[in-house]
Amino acid sequence: MPTGTGDGHLAWVRTDEHQRNAAELDADATTQEVIAGWRATARIKADPADHRAAMTPTTGDFGSVDTNP
pLDDT in tens, 42-65: 999 999 999 999 899 988 888 888
What are the extents of the domains in the chain?
A: 28-53
Integer Cα distance of 53 and 55 in angstroms: 5
Count of residues for the chain? 69
Q: What pLDDT, on the 0 to 100 scale, is given for residue 2?
A: 43
Helices (H), the chain: 7-24, 28-46, 48-55
Integer Cα distance of 62 and 65 in angstroms: 8
- Per residue in 3-52, pLDDT (tens digit) is 444 455 556 567 777 777 777 776 667 777 888 888 888 999 999 999 99
Integer Cα distance of 63 and 36 in angstroms: 24
Indicate yes or no: pTM above 0.75: no
